[in-house]
Amino acid sequence: MKKKDFIAQDLLGRIYQQLSFVNQKLPPERELAESYGVSRHTIRKALEKLLQIGIISVQKGSGAFINQQAKNNPLIYNSLTEKHYDQINSKLILFRKRRVQLEEKQTFNLTDDDYIWEFHRIRFVDGRGTQIEISKLPCRYFPDLKQKNIENSIQQYVLSKGYEISHYLTQYQAVAINRQESELLKCKKGMPAMKIINRCFLNNGAIYAISEIIDIHYTCTYITPFNKPNFELRLVDDKK
């Protein structure tokens, strides 16, 4: 792990340990540099990462302050959310409107007469092919979805339609890249990757999108509360 990444992780740990920081403010760069035995440039790089993911805010002339609201999010950051949108580009592979299929009808609570949008895109982070995404959205909610929306931010498009996004249900699975995926991402067949399956919910409980993503550079950091009832239930099951 690079020094800047270690320092960012260590500072995250200290923040989530609820260690006392005077006025919720991080120590000055000079003090942090001496503490970690690195240059102030390395400290700045670590703080930039915390700034990008919304954990801290920087006030010119005053220093870096901890954002209390960010501490309530179980996903601190992943390899995509730590990037600004101007560092992420998308290339559309497929975009079509088609009749809904049985599983999609059940997922989106649609009828046989409904249509969905389906699109496939490659996502580039800092110019490097990183993800293949296949997503589906009900035409009923988004009748005017266009290519330019897909090549930018789908979340921004959804919000622009007046919807409020609530949460995501996400499944992770380790996989190996197949031939077609390797050609799209220009990597070796059989390379390890993460498959990420999302169900995306609105505030009214409706699912507005489902997506399946293959990511070859995926990393993430979570804070997970200890689930004591589940732990004890598993212990009981083990004794049977």
Q: What is the pLDDT of residue 240?
A: 55
Q: What is the pLDDT of residue 79?
A: 65
Average pLDDT over the chain, rounded to whole?
Answer: 86
Please report the DSSP string for the chain in residue order. --HHHHHHHHHHHHHHTT---GGGBPPPHHHHHHHHTS-HHHHHHHHHHHHHTTSEEEETTTEEEE-TGGGG-SEEEETTTTS-GGGEEEEEEEEEEEEPPHHHHHHHT--TT-EEEEEEEEEEETTEEEEEEEEEEETTT-TT--HHHHTS-HHHHHHHTT--EEEEEEEEEEEE--HHHHHHHTS-TT-EEEEEEEEEEETTS-EEEEEEEEESS--EEE-----HHHHHHHHHHHH-
CA 189 to chain centre: 25
Q: What is the pLDDT of residue 72?
A: 63
**Which tens digits make up the pLDDT trace of 64-109?**
888 877 666 666 666 666 666 677 888 999 999 999 999 899 899 9
**Which tens digits make up the pLDDT trace of 128-164?**
889 999 999 999 999 999 999 998 889 999 999 999 9
pLDDT at 211 over 60: yes
Which domains does the chain show, CATH number per domain?
3-71 (1.10.10.10), 85-222 (3.40.1410.10)
The number of beta carbons lying within 10 Å of the beta carbon of residue 105 is: 16
CA dihedral 33, 39, 43, 45 (to 10 degrees): 180
Question: What predicted TM-score, i.e. pTM, was given to this entire model?
Answer: 0.72
**Which tens digits make up the pLDDT trace of 224-239?**
777 777 777 678 655 5
| Backbone angle region of 163, left / alpha / beta, with phi > 0 → left and psi within -120 to 50 → alpha | beta
Q: What average pLDDT does range 207-213 have in this prediction?
A: 95
The Cα–Cα gap between 115 and 63 comes to 52
